[in-house]
Amino acid sequence: MNGIVLPVLVTLAIQILASLAVFTPPVLAPEASREMGLDASAVGVVTSVIYLSSAAAALMSGGFIVRYGPLRVSQFALLLVAVGSALLALGHPLAVLAAALFIGLGYGPVTPSSSAILGVRTPERLRAFVFSLKQTGVPIGGAIAGAMVPVMMVWSGWRSAALAVAAGSLLLAFAVQGGRATADRDRRPDAPIGALRLREPLRMLWRQRPLRDLALVSFAYSGMQMCLGSYLVVYLHEIGRLSVPAAGAALSVAMAGAVLGRLFWGFVADNFVGPRRLLGLLGLGMSLGAFTLGMLDATSPWAAVVSHAFLFGATAVGWNGVYISEVARIAPKGHEAAVTGASFALTYLGVFVSPLVVWAVVALGAGYAGGFAFVGLLTLWRASVFFRR
């Protein structure tokens, strides 16, 4: 893993499997919630638990990465994700909450670990594109969840679909072992876990205004990203009257837009538009997507549904690579993983809050469109930062 191609492929595969596990509960929700006697909108609580535990895991990951190496931490993360996915199959509300906790604890260290692997191997001229390429693993995982999980549900039931995700994560954890010697060669086995106190990464993040702005923007943008991932299938099934496979296909289209968007935005940020200004423009785009979602209903043609999903995904899920590359560029040298983890703690906190907001708005009777509009106001507000400074 001395070059850049193999590290990108390994970190991309890990990101895909971890993201697949995160996107699976929303796809299972229409069927699984009915069996458990719950409202499908309660999947927002599951998503929030996943990302609350992700925030804690990301913040704590820096010391573990220094001691055990980023690839070993990634392997352990995949094992936690596998346990969580398997717990989903139990079909009990308490088991689902435990599953969300395990999936979140596994998902949290994935990005800080990949930043540690790629940060020292990526040429500066390719930084935004390489990080964006790695981050396409998030929408690719979502696209697989939207396309394949409904098929597995039809063939063998939603429990088997959850177990299949668990098996894939477990297999990948063992498959990447061969690259550990080079990926983790800079680890310090004698370094105490508490060598970098939990508050210190947050201090480094907060002391630099550009890093602070990025972290706060990621709080808003990540919330919009996960609202799209958590509620699009439910919204199109309940309001748009689409079947679960059709709604899952729309989610796959949104994630395809995100994959292409992440690659395109990374290229644009490296060559044409500054990363911060580009992040502001993407915030405007995702806010527009949120405000217009309520225009889709049972009378909307399929072309309108997939077009909206594609453009919404390209903005609301397409921003991460530009954001992560900018954080890694500004972070103090030698502390990229810790600062990325601290920044992602706020990112995951946004994902914890926003789905709960939508769930609350739906519970109060304003509907999914009202919930998305509320989150859209937040992303619009944070996007304005990049045009004021």
Is 80 exceeded by the pLDDT of residue 190?
Answer: no
What distance in Å separates the CA atoms of residue 349 and residue 371, rounded to the nearest whole number?
18
- The confidence score (pLDDT) of residue 14 equals 96
Is 70 exceeded by the pLDDT of residue 196?
Answer: no
C-alpha distances (whole Å) from 143 to each of 139, 211, 247, 307, 319 are 6, 30, 12, 15, 17
Is 80 exceeded by the pLDDT of residue 376?
Answer: yes
Specify whether domain 5-176+200-388 bears CATH 2.60.40.650. no
Helix axes 209-238, 302-316, angle to 10 degrees: 160
Enumerate the H helices of the chain as residue ranges: 5-36, 43-68, 70-88, 93-107, 110-119, 127-135, 137-156, 158-175, 180-183, 199-207, 209-238, 244-271, 275-292, 302-316, 320-330, 336-363, 367-383, 385-388
pLDDT band at 195 (very low <50, low <70, confident <90, very high): very low
What distance in Å separates the CA atoms of residue 284 and residue 293, rounded to the nearest whole number?
15
Is 60 exceeded by the pLDDT of residue 274?
Answer: yes
What distance in Å separates the CA atoms of residue 361 and residue 370, rounded to the nearest whole number?
7
Instruction: Quote the percentage of the chain above a pLDDT of 90.
Output: 44
User: What average pLDDT does this structure show over 361-377?
Assistant: 93
User: What average pLDDT does this structure show over 180-201?
Assistant: 72
Q: Between 101 and 63, where is the model more confident?
A: 101
Instruction: Quote the percentage of the chain above a pLDDT of 70.
Output: 95
DSSP letter, residue 339: H
Contact 73, 65 (CB under 8 A): yes
Contact 221, 379 (CB under 8 A): yes
How confident is the prediction for the chain on average, in pLDDT?
Answer: 88
pLDDT band at 193 (very low <50, low <70, confident <90, very high): low
CA contacts within 13 A on the Cβ side of 146: 27
What is the residue type of 99?
Answer: A
Tell me the whole-structure pTM to 2 decimals.
0.75
Which of 13, 374, 61, 56 shows the shortest CA–CA distance to 224?
374
Q: Between 63 and 197, where is the model more confident?
A: 63
Is 90 exceeded by the pLDDT of residue 220?
Answer: yes
Q: For 350, left (φ over 0), alpha (ψ -120 to 50), or beta?
A: alpha
DSSP letter, residue 126: G
Of 47-61, 152-166, 178-192, 333-347, where does mean pLDDT reach its minimum?
A: 333-347
Is 80 exceeded by the pLDDT of residue 3?
Answer: no
User: What average pLDDT does this structure show over 280-300?
Assistant: 95
Contact 251, 27 (CB under 8 A): yes
Lookup: tokens for 132: 């964006």
Instruction: Give the length of the chain.
Output: 389
Question: Is 318 strand, coil or helix?
Answer: coil
Domain ranges of the chain: 5-176+200-388
Q: Between 287 and 134, where is the model more confident?
A: 287
User: What average pLDDT does this structure show over 147-165?
Assistant: 89
Contact 347, 248 (CB under 8 A): no
Is 70 exceeded by the pLDDT of residue 94?
Answer: yes
Lookup: tokens for 286: 């995702």
Is 50 exceeded by the pLDDT of residue 93?
Answer: yes
- The confidence score (pLDDT) of residue 176 equals 93
Contact 224, 373 (CB under 8 A): no
User: What average pLDDT does this structure show over 192-207?
Assistant: 68
Is 70 exceeded by the pLDDT of residue 353?
Answer: yes
Of 49-53, 282-286, 293-297, 341-345, where does mean pLDDT reach its minimum?
A: 341-345
Of 20-24, 62-66, 223-227, where does mean pLDDT reach its minimum?
A: 62-66
Place of tokens 């800079």: 186
Report pLDDT digits (tens) over 327-341. 878 877 767 667 877
pLDDT band at 2 (very low <50, low <70, confident <90, very high): low
Lookup: tokens for 82: 């596998």
Contact 105, 53 (CB under 8 A): yes
What distance in Å separates the CA atoms of residue 205 and residue 213, rounded to the nearest whole number?
10
Contact 348, 109 (CB under 8 A): no
